[in-house]
Amino acid sequence: MAMPALFSTLANGARLVRELARLPVAPLRFELQRNPDGIRRAHALFTQRHARYKVIGNKTMGIALIDLKAFKGQPSAYLATVQRSGHAGPQSRKATARGYTLRRIDRNAHIDAIHAIHTSSGERQGRPMDDSVVAIKTGYDDPPHIECHGVFDAAGTLVAYCSMGRYGNFVATDELMGYKNQDGIMYLLLSTIVCRLIEEGDVDYFMYDTYLGAKPGLRDFKRRVGFQPYRARYALV
């Protein structure tokens, strides 16, 4: 590597380290009682070495979180933070006005519909779809800490879904995908989940993977739903 490029790389790396060090810290707790084997596997995945940034954990720096406690059990307080044009509030209302609804689902009752969503586009966020995603599944495991919510159009077709894990004092998205359209269905999906989690008061944080390494469009989407970058500090109890 030429010296100017090397200095630029080092400078960018140092700047990234400084930015990450300034992030707020979220104490995230994995609770074995929810499903010992599944929770242990998830904890190992979240804390293993990052594939690109070897000196940090896989999901420890620049994690996209919503601090649910901040809204004191009031979904309206959350919705007030995402009311700007193009953000989750107006976008989810647009989806509702166009006949979309959300309900909890059993993925095994919607295998074909989920496969249709997975194969509806050859790429996501500028990246080709992974073979493991587009492969036809015969069934899904149904561990007790995983649940799934789906968005349906006015004709009753599943158009988007989010499977998520309740790991302890936080919930994290596992699979999240929908048809590409301009109806606001992904905003409706996530904002409704956020509101329900706030209302239930069972967990402190909602996680949607990371900001670190996400494409600009995906980072902007997360921001419009209300996610902010954090450093995660994990405990296994």
pLDDT in tens, 128-152: 777 777 788 889 988 999 999 999 9
CA dihedral 51, 132, 143, 208 (to 10 degrees): 50
d(CA 72, CA 143): 30
Q: What pLDDT band is residue 57 in, cutting at 50, 70 and 90?
A: low
Backbone torsions φ then ψ of 53, nearest 5 degrees: -100, 85
Which two tokens mark 77?
Answer: 């307080």
- Return the percentage of the chain with pLDDT > 70, whole number: 86
pLDDT tier at 52, thresholds 50, 70, 90: low
Q: Which residue(s) pair with 27 in the sheet?
A: 233
Per-residue pLDDT, 3? 39
Does 91 score more than 60 pLDDT? yes
Weakest mean pLDDT among 31-35, 191-195, 209-213, 214-218:
209-213
Q: Is 199 strand, coil or helix?
A: helix
Give the H/E segment covering residue 190.
Answer: helix 185-200
| Alpha carbon distance 20, 34 (integer Å) | 31
Structure tokens given for 128: 């080709």
Under the phi-then-psi rule, with left for phi > 0, alpha for psi from -120 to 50, and beta for the rest, what region is 24? beta
As given in the structure block, the two tokens for residue 203 are 């967990």
Instruction: Report pLDDT for 10.
Output: 38
Res 172 pLDDT > 50: yes
The CATH classification number of 25-236 equals: 3.40.630.30
Lay out the sheet containing 101-105: strands in order across: 25-30, 228-236, 61-67, 205-210, 170-178, 158-166, 146-152, 101-105
Q: Could you write out the DSSP letters of every residue in 135-155?
A: SPPS-----TTEEEEEEE-TT
Which residue type, as a one-letter code, is found at position 211? Y
Nearest to 73 by CA among 206, 208, 169, 197: 197
Structure tokens at 186: 């992904």
Q: What residue type is 37 in one-letter code? A: D
